[in-house]
Amino acid sequence: MIPLEVKDDEGKSTKRTVKDIYTDLKAMLKIPGLWNCLDYFEIAIGKQRQENVRFPHFGWLSCSPVRGRNGSHYIHIGTITKGRYSLIFEGRTSQGFHAACEVANLCAEQLRA
């Protein structure tokens, strides 16, 4: 499991950065070989300038496969807070819906969505 928070020497919990969580998630996708089925997997464009900020607080965490207009399948990982969705990570695979589901499921499991 990838922790979203860490404890400091005093036992106080602090959210980890988006970049650190991305690095751990990327490493976990390489273990079962899912990384090879991805065309890309990265921090969402809207968050790239904020990759060193703390992972946002959220009500729900969503990890889902999404079909694109071009026939590719995307993996969206985002937060939902007060009815607003914020995309954090995005990936794409051209190997079909099943591959997108496997990636989304692993991400959900690792992030405890």
Average pLDDT score over residue span 94-105 = 96
From the list 103, 112, 85, 86, the residue with the least C-alpha distance to 40 is 103
Confidence (pTM): 0.89
Tokens 């999404």 sit at which residue?
66
pLDDT of amino acid 51: 64
Q: Helix, strand, coil: what percent of the chain each, to 5?
A: 30, 35, 35
Domain spans of the chain? Answer: 16-111
40-84 pLDDT, tens per residue?
Answer: 999 998 777 766 788 888 999 999 999 998 889 999 999 999 999
Segments in 2-112 forming alpha helices (H): 18-30, 45-48, 97-111
The predicted-structure confidence for 19-32, as pLDDT tens digits, reads as follows: 999 999 999 999 99
Per the CB < 8 A criterion, the answer to whether 93 and 103 are in contact is: yes
Could you give the 3-state DSSP secondary structure of residue 99? helix
